[in-house]
Structure 1
Amino acid sequence: MPKRGGGGRGVTQKPSNRDVLPAGAESKDTELFFNRELSWMAFNDRVLQLAESPEIPLLERLKFIAIYARNLDEFFMIRVARLHEQIRGGVARLVPDGASPSDTLDKLHDGILKQTRRHGDAFEKVLRPALAEKGLRILSARNLDAEQRAQVDQRFKEQIFPVLTPLAIGLGRHFPYISNLSLSLAVLLRDPDADEESVARVKVPKELLPRFLPLKGNVFVPLEEIIAQHLGDLFPGMEVLSWGTFRVTRDADFTVSEDAEDLLKAVETELRERRFGDVIRMEVQAGMSPKLLEPLVEAMGLEARQVYEEHGLVGLNDLQSIAFAPGFPELKDPPWVPVTQARLRTDADAPDGGTVMSSMRRGDLLVHHPYESFATSVERFVTEAVADPDVLAIKQTVYRTSDSSPLVPALITATERGKQAVCMVELKARFDERTNIRWANALEEAGVHVVYGIPSLKTHAKAILIVRREGDKVRHYVHIGTGNYNPKTARLYTDMGLFTTDPDIGADVADVFNYLTGFGRPKSFRKLLVAPLTMRQGLLAEIKRTVAAHTAERPARIQMKMNALVDPGIIHALYEASRAGVKVELNVRGICCLRPGVPGVSENIRVVSVLGRFLEHSRIYIFERGPELRCFIGSADLMPRNLDHRVEILAPVEDASLAAQVKDSLERCMADTTSAWELTADGGWRRRLPRAGDEKRWAQGEMMERAQRMAQFQGGRPLP
């Protein structure tokens, strides 16, 4: 195997079992499946379309410029890296669409080049001048006036120059290590005394200083351009012939061996090694001199399809610092303040204390974030449990959280008050590993029972279990969600959560925690669908029952909402449902490998993707069979990794009124004509627009209005 580009580890990695299809899922009908990676590229194209949309406020469009770039970074670090790994390992990955890794890489390179040209144009030609007209200027260093240049010169001398380290390339010197996603200047120099040319690299210290340096009057200047204007100070006595910016993306994926004796140490070791992963992509500023480009490509051992030319600034993900900065409210969406869930608000004055748990005893609760508040539901649920002297134990999963989350510190307080506190921390949550390790160490030091799960599986389930003493018995109070216990993303992602005291669900969640903390492997569950144990079979059984129940007189229907639909076995089952005449409505935010609209196969399947102000994140699975409605929510997308290689939970929503709310939210997404695209049989995504005479529909706006309306009612009557 070749050495890893740019100082790699030189370690051969075996293909992950996540790349292996489940038995019986292989298909010779390759035309019935879209390529997973190309479908992802189409998803990011929809994000780019939001950045290009004139109906969206300017700073929101700038946010989508940054999101597009950040998405692309992660895609290269994981998915494209895996394709290169397969090629180097000589592995012909079996994929339903029949494409080879090399063919897929070629198509990705061509498609992403076209997208990045649009991406650069959207910023340089549209947003940059439009923002300047509104008083927010992102200026090139060469366009500064005399006063601004004086500010920049002073900042360079005092703050920037002291942290710069120019490194020579060539001339018998070792090629410098270039860290993942770091921004650099390549500089072509000429020594006038020796009449020789040389190349140097200067790292742009955006980890230490703002990438866009703020000046007076809402002016921002790219840090790399300030450095470029002062290259003479870095290379005294040399003639600067040309310069250009470049950026590398490295393989950031890793797989922890299921034989790891100490999972924490294994993950920490892999995190240290991650920084030396192969260089997978190099972005370069358009027009870079071949005398600069060729030494970089050669030193990092890159193929032509790994080099991406950027027309404009490189690394536009850093624009999020401007997009999310305070000020200019007229250039942003109107602020949204989540409301307290109606039952939790109206139960506050109940005789039994008005806690979340007392509300749960009167019946199941459903919350829908960010329309309804995470703080006054989930966080309140845990903090009240910590303060309740009758609560004996609190158990919680942590996949992604934030440093500001009160939930994890609440477990520490619970331990200090003599309660049993258990936290299942997923150390392998991609790009959140360090945060989770830090939390795990703090929890263990405080006496919380910390569990890292099963090395070969990621624990992606979202569950909280509270055990409370009530008389001579105990009762289980459970929250099962579709999203992470993260207060920041709870304001940005659409997620649902079920609060229930159902004894069967409580017993099932207790079994899941015992599965994660001990050696037991339950063979069945009472009501939950749990991956990798029962979820695949459970979903397939629900599809089969729906097909069996379908008649012309009493038609059945399947409705699903998820982030990604990839699993061949599930896709085959949905094709069978369509062949039987069952209407299948799919709301898939991102990747969809199912091909709708194929005569005789999938003409009864519709696929819609909704992207907008909030990130659609809920996972919903509904099976409608005459008067019977089976509704599940939970953490799992329909991908082999979720069904076979992760611990996931889907919980039934059995209260008819709550199931109707879940169904209503999904149907609003399917009817959206503002922020929705529909997948066609040829793989294109057509923007959905209202038909002539029809009212424009915006699902997220309708859900905000619905949340406000429900918050104003108490027992069916408007609040005073």
Structure 2
Amino acid sequence: MSAVAPRWDIPSAEALQALVADPLPLGLRAGPARRSFLRDLYFDTPAGDLRRRDVACRVCFAADDRRTLVLEGLRPGPPEAAEVAELDAAAIFAGKSGPARRLRALIDPARLVPSVELETERRLRLVRRALVPWPELELVLDVVTVRSSEAAPVFRELTLRPRPWGTIGVARLGAALAERHGLHPLATDRRARADELLAALETEALARAVQGQREVAIVAVADGRMAFRRKGGGLQLLVVEGGGEEACRRALRQLLGTAEGQVRLLGTVPATERRPVLEVWVARRLRRDLTTASRPLQWFTPRDIVGRVGSPVLREPKTLAALAVAARSPLVPEWSGSLVGGAVGESAAAVEPFPEADEADRISRVTLSELRVPVLPAAALDAERGAPEQFLNAQLSWLEFNARVLALAEDPRTPFRARLRFLAIFSTNLDQFFMVEVASLKHAVAAGLTPRSADGLTPQEELDAIAIRLRPLVERQYRCFQLLRAGELAGAGVSIRRFGELDAAAQGFLRRWFGDQVLPLLTPKALTRAPGHPFPFIADRRLSLALVLRDTPTSPRHFVHLELPTSLPRFVPLPQDEGVVPLEEVIGGNLEALLPGRQVVEVHPFRITRSGDIHLDETGAANFAQAMEEEIRRRPFGPVVRVEVERAMPQAMRDLLQREFRFEESEQHSTLSAADFYEADGIVDLGALAELAPPRPTSDYRPVSPANPFPPGVPVCDALDRKDVLVHHPYDSFSTSFERWLDECADDPDVLAIKLTLYRPGGPSRILEALHRAAGAGKDVSVLVELKARFDEEHNIAWARSLEQLGIHVVTGLVNLKTHAKIALVVRRRGGRIRRYAHVGTGNYNPDTARVYSDLGLFTAEEDLGADLNALFNELTGSSRPPQAEFRRLLVAPTNMLRRFLDLIEREAEHARAGRGGRIRVKLNGLADGPVIAALYRASQAGASVELVVRGICMLRPGVPGLSERIRVTSILGRFLEHARIYHFENGGAAEYYIGSADWRPRNLRRRIEVAVPVRDAAARARLDRILTTELTDPTAWELAADGSYTRRTARPGDGASAQEQFLEATPASY
């Protein structure tokens, strides 16, 4: 065999496939290709010191996951190599092998970092002569993926390796193959070729980073507070050019007037097109005199500033990037102790004494009141301009909403079982937030897109701000869980046990249960790419175990993945009420039965979240339901956007997961990094906590006894002939109102047609049965089932098909519009004339959610409203375009709703200018539409009173002098999910009320079919007025401040109960 086997470049995937499958030239024979996987991980210093010495250091991963440390270029001849047993690079370099000792003599291994990874998919064909039975030559076909930083280029190579006894002419065969397939000979080695590819793909920013251009950001900490510099109306960390400790000391001298202090590198932020690599350093043990710096400093606790991150006060891009690193670093424990929106106990972070604190406060500290009410530039007070400073960030506003959910779990006044549910809801809310919102931002970053949000942040800046805000919330969640676990959960007799602490009898019980119920469902999968073992696909939001195994006590370690079966309970009860054991503990304690003869070194739970939104070209879909099903099948394979790990998971395992998830095959490029790992202080994934609570009456809210809004014995339609009826669920029964109405109409021979929309209908219900009976009775039944209800797409497709099978006319939505309206229409012949009966609601026609969502519905037989709904249904079932009808009474999006709401707001502004007061009261789930917010600002500036009840996202910034000081925003969360929408405009004493399905967000007003209905019945209007008044004065509600933070009202003696409790106590006629 020659010292260097000849190699050729394969120009395309097609040429590779031909080399794999086609007959060989020169009459030679070759069997089928054998497939395998190889991996080489190269190490060097960030400055490339080994490369400059023509030395290469790499760790090779072989077929059975055995690792080999290789040093090349130290001396003439073959490289120096030795098999190693250690798991991670640091341990390998510190080992006793010959290459490790030579490496340590050459350079400090602590300076080495992974520089490039070559992952090889190999196909091997054995070549022989026609009449010779043994192979004489190996034809090696490699597809090499180069992994480094953001890039992952691919190249293909052919290598001809003669066997010692072979006589086949390598040069002749190579020339024939080159001529046939367009191959080109290669002179450079594989590593050099990888470097050339990477150099060609580097952006200008990456090139600057390679050349050593860096910046340093300083997080100076004293007495639990961080130093910021004031620039205009904002706060910034100090950032200087340079890198390393020398630049850090220079920055300290500039910041504090002295370079003294203890400094540690927290981490680095990758380069972008706008800046080089950013090093983030923490400085502690600062000198006493902090007032001699060249510029005054502001000193804040993370708790002071975390709620202002992303606001005009704290949004400078490099500061956000540096704080995102600090927020996840164990070297800055003060950050994880910053409890946003309320505290559960005190922060456990130890802080060092802050010298001359009072004097520093007196000299330089900005008051919190300044931060809570941002001072906007004069131009931003012009409501017509729509300046970024006028808006709160939508993503951060959503995090504030979820923080309020968490506050309900922390509140000792909340019943115990409900506290566990709220902790679980917090987790499931975050899952969807990452699947949709974070995934969308990461996709924009990966694509190089930099659109700015309404408040002026780029996608990367939003991701940084989210990370800074979110980590303290996750800490709060786990702190709350630990307190409940040690307190009320234990007091209720539910003890969460670890397998290792159980006695022999309990362990024996679990071993038997494991063998019977669990073992048949488990499939261990290797977590390391090796021949025959591709990296396994790991499912979205499934709890998994990462195992570290050894075949023998001295053999190399192996990573193995084990997915927990979803068909089993998360918490396994022990006999005699001795507690529960998490399923992952049961499996971890019985691995010897699953992997006999293996040594289990470590077991670590983890869980991933993948991008989950669906992007469908509706205009090009021939069959929309089939196209939607195809997109749903792709959803589980989206890129990973979050990894949850237990705190004890070693860094080597985290690095492996990050590397493999980042570069797994996907239609979307991944930007996964260390910033996307979230540590769990205990059980990973708290979404199943509701399983834990014992069903004791005293541990939950008392049962609801909803009222019957219609008198018994009188058909609903007959009651509507007399007057409209407003229902308020769950205080009014959904079963004895809407479901009863459909039941009666299905069996009423005078009913001719039933039409309704379904958005999230839930499981089988009386609604489906009633529609079935109506169709069977020959009535005209038409149903619009919206397939694009996020995460309910499959369920809605099943509903649509079930209805079609029952002979019902089904429409599955309009092109590029989501039908979110909650409307139903019944056409009835009575006494020789046609009458229309309608229902317009704020919530889904779903009996399950009607018990836990607070929603409104108007039953009416008013002719104009019935005619409007008839016209709307005709458009929904007869056309694929947006509704074009002229509606007399209804507000319909995207047809006339936005324009009408803007007119109604402007009318209140005119009333205020004319001295007639002007008053707007609105209850919504979300407020994020720019033109609507601008109109509300103008109304406030005109003197109108604007009172808003907004449950979730709110981008309006209230209480800003000169812009929105007459706007007040309240948020209510509690036992029931507030889902109703009410719109009230005082109109100089001739008030108008509407209810409907639309929030004031761009998607509702522009990209959805929404309906709002005017409420004219006096009793119904009075009830809406009482609902708004009660909620706006709820003593347990939250109030939104100008900086985007929320403060919960403190109930005082005599303030009364929460709004929801008042509604439960009252009869419908009394409110």
Whether the 8 Å CA contact 1:397–1:424 is kept in 2: the answer is yes
Which residue of 2 is the match for residue 8 of structure 1?
none
Which residue of 1 is the match for residue 408 of structure 2?
50
Q: 1:108-144: CA deviations, max 9, x gaps?
A: 1122111111111111233454211122233333333
Letter aligned with residue 651 of structure 2: P
Alignment equivalent of 1:336, drawn from 704, 712, 732: 704
2:616 matched to 1:246? no
After TM superposition, the structure 1 = structure 2 runs for residues 138-149 of structure 1, keeping only pairs within 5 Å, are 138-149=496-507
**Structure 2 Cα separation of the partners of residues 151 and 485 of structure 1:** 46
Which residue of 2 is the match for residue 283 of structure 1?
644
2:971 matched to 1:613? no
Whether the 8 Å CA contact 1:77–1:250 is kept in 2: the answer is yes
Which residue of 1 is the match for residue 435 of structure 2?
77
User: Structure 1 vs Structure 2: percent identity of aligned residues?
Assistant: 44
Which residue of 2 is the match for residue 482 of structure 1?
842
**Structure 1 Cα separation of the partners of residues 875 and 1048 of structure 2:** 45
- Segment of structure 1 superposing worse, 458-467 or 509-518: 509-518
Which residue of 1 is the match for residue 677 of structure 2?
307
**Structure 1 Cα separation of the partners of residues 1001 and 737 of structure 2:** 30
Question: What displacement does 1:635 show?
Answer: 0.6
Whether the 8 Å CA contact 1:608–1:678 is kept in 2: the answer is yes
**Structure 2 Cα separation of the partners of residues 396 and 26 of structure 1:** 40
Letter aligned with residue 72 of structure 1: L
| Secondary structure of the structure 2 residue equivalent to 1:320 | helix
With normalisation by structure 2, the TM-score equals 0.62
Letter aligned with residue 833 of structure 2: K
Letter aligned with residue 703 of structure 2: P
After TM superposition, the structure 1 = structure 2 runs for residues 77-96 of structure 1, keeping only pairs within 5 Å, are 77-96=435-454
| Secondary structure of the structure 2 residue equivalent to 1:174 | coil
| Secondary structure of the structure 2 residue equivalent to 1:430 | coil
**Structure 2 Cα separation of the partners of residues 217 and 524 of structure 1:** 69
Question: Residues 27 and 627 (structure 1 numbering): CA distance in 2 closer, same or farther, change over 3 Å?
Answer: closer
Whether the 8 Å CA contact 2:865–2:889 is kept in 1: the answer is yes
Question: What displacement does 1:64 show?
Answer: 0.4
Question: Residues 551 and 469 (structure 1 numbering): CA distance in 2 closer, same or farther, change over 3 Å?
Answer: same
**Structure 1 Cα separation of the partners of residues 440 and 909 of structure 2:** 37
Alignment equivalent of 2:692, drawn from 322, 325, 330: 322
Whether the 8 Å CA contact 1:368–1:497 is kept in 2: the answer is yes
**Structure 2 Cα separation of the partners of residues 128 and 271 of structure 1:** 41
Which residue of 2 is the match for residue 165 of structure 1?
523
Q: 1:420-463: CA deviations, max 9, x gaps?
A: 10110001111111111111111111110000121211110001
Which residue of 2 is the match for residue 14 of structure 1?
none
Which residue of 1 is the match for residue 634 of structure 2?
273
Whether the 8 Å CA contact 1:187–1:292 is kept in 2: the answer is no
After TM superposition, the structure 1 = structure 2 runs for residues 623-642 of structure 1, keeping only pairs within 5 Å, are 623-642=985-1004
Letter aligned with residue 407 of structure 2: Q
After TM superposition, the structure 1 = structure 2 runs for residues 16-55 of structure 1, keeping only pairs within 5 Å, are 29-55=387-413
Question: What displacement does 1:28 show?
Answer: 5.2
Question: What displacement does 1:330 show?
Answer: 1.2
Letter aligned with residue 332 of structure 1: D
Question: What displacement does 1:553 show?
Answer: 5.0
Question: What displacement does 1:59 show?
Answer: 1.0
2:1013 matched to 1:654? no
Which residue of 1 is the match for residue 786 of structure 2?
426
**Structure 1 Cα separation of the partners of residues 539 and 529 of structure 2:** 22
Question: What displacement does 1:25 show?
Answer: 11
**Structure 2 Cα separation of the partners of residues 466 and 169 of structure 1:** 59
**Structure 1 Cα separation of the partners of residues 490 and 576 of structure 2:** 11
Which residue of 2 is the match for residue 214 of structure 1?
573
Letter aligned with residue 931 of structure 2: G
**Structure 2 Cα separation of the partners of residues 92 and 536 of structure 1:** 28
**Structure 2 Cα separation of the partners of residues 706 and 221 of structure 1:** 43
- Segment of structure 1 superposing worse, 62-71 or 301-310: 301-310
Which residue of 1 is the match for residue 231 of structure 2?
none
Question: What displacement does 1:597 show?
Answer: 0.3
Which residue of 2 is the match for residue 671 of structure 1?
1033
Letter aligned with residue 298 of structure 1: R
| Secondary structure of the structure 2 residue equivalent to 1:626 | helix
**Structure 2 Cα separation of the partners of residues 578 and 708 of structure 1:** 34
2:658 matched to 1:297? yes
Question: What displacement does 1:625 show?
Answer: 1.7
| Secondary structure of the structure 1 residue equivalent to 2:1024 | helix
- Segment of structure 1 superposing worse, 606-615 or 466-475: 466-475
2:810 matched to 1:450? yes
| Secondary structure of the structure 2 residue equivalent to 1:275 | helix
Whether the 8 Å CA contact 2:924–2:981 is kept in 1: the answer is yes
Alignment equivalent of 1:227, drawn from 587, 596, 608: 587
Question: What displacement does 1:70 show?
Answer: 0.6
The runs of 5 or more residues in structure 2 that have no matched partner are 1-145, 150-381, 663-671
**Structure 2 Cα separation of the partners of residues 111 and 25 of structure 1:** 29
Whether the 8 Å CA contact 1:257–1:455 is kept in 2: the answer is no
Question: What displacement does 1:707 show?
Answer: 2.8
**Structure 1 Cα separation of the partners of residues 555 and 801 of structure 2:** 58
- Segment of structure 1 superposing worse, 162-171 or 516-525: 516-525
Q: 1:245-270: CA deviations, max 9, x gaps?
A: 11011111012223122111111111
Whether the 8 Å CA contact 1:57–1:331 is kept in 2: the answer is yes
> Which of structures 1 and 2 has the larger relative contact order (alpha carbons within 8 angstroms, sep 6+)?
1
Which residue of 2 is the match for residue 114 of structure 1?
472
Whether the 8 Å CA contact 1:128–1:138 is kept in 2: the answer is no
Whether the 8 Å CA contact 1:188–1:197 is kept in 2: the answer is yes
Question: Residues 362 and 708 (structure 1 numbering): CA distance in 2 closer, same or farther, change over 3 Å?
Answer: closer
| Secondary structure of the structure 1 residue equivalent to 2:573 | strand
Whether the 8 Å CA contact 1:183–1:245 is kept in 2: the answer is yes
**Structure 1 Cα separation of the partners of residues 649 and 569 of structure 2:** 24
Q: 1:23-77: CA deviations, max 9, x gaps?
A: x999552111110000000110011111111111111100100000010001111
| Secondary structure of the structure 2 residue equivalent to 1:137 | coil
Which residue of 2 is the match for residue 126 of structure 1?
484
**Structure 2 Cα separation of the partners of residues 450 and 184 of structure 1:** 41
Which residue of 2 is the match for residue 594 of structure 1?
956
Aligned length: 679
Which residue of 2 is the match for residue 560 of structure 1?
922
Q: 1:60-105: CA deviations, max 9, x gaps?
A: 1001000000100011111111111111222222421001110111
Question: Residues 25 and 278 (structure 1 numbering): CA distance in 2 closer, same or farther, change over 3 Å?
Answer: farther
After TM superposition, the structure 1 = structure 2 runs for residues 450-469 of structure 1, keeping only pairs within 5 Å, are 450-469=810-829
Whether the 8 Å CA contact 1:25–1:569 is kept in 2: the answer is no
Whether the 8 Å CA contact 1:58–1:127 is kept in 2: the answer is no
| Secondary structure of the structure 1 residue equivalent to 2:600 | strand
Whether the 8 Å CA contact 2:529–2:535 is kept in 1: the answer is no
**Structure 1 Cα separation of the partners of residues 1060 and 788 of structure 2:** 32
Letter aligned with residue 242 of structure 1: E
Alignment equivalent of 1:583, drawn from 933, 945, 956: 945
Question: What displacement does 1:190 show?
Answer: 1.8
**Structure 2 Cα separation of the partners of residues 134 and 449 of structure 1:** 52
Question: Residues 55 and 461 (structure 1 numbering): CA distance in 2 closer, same or farther, change over 3 Å?
Answer: same
- Segment of structure 1 superposing worse, 26-35 or 259-268: 26-35
Question: What displacement does 1:551 show?
Answer: 5.2
With normalisation by structure 1, the TM-score equals 0.91
| Secondary structure of the structure 2 residue equivalent to 1:138 | coil
Rg larger for: 2
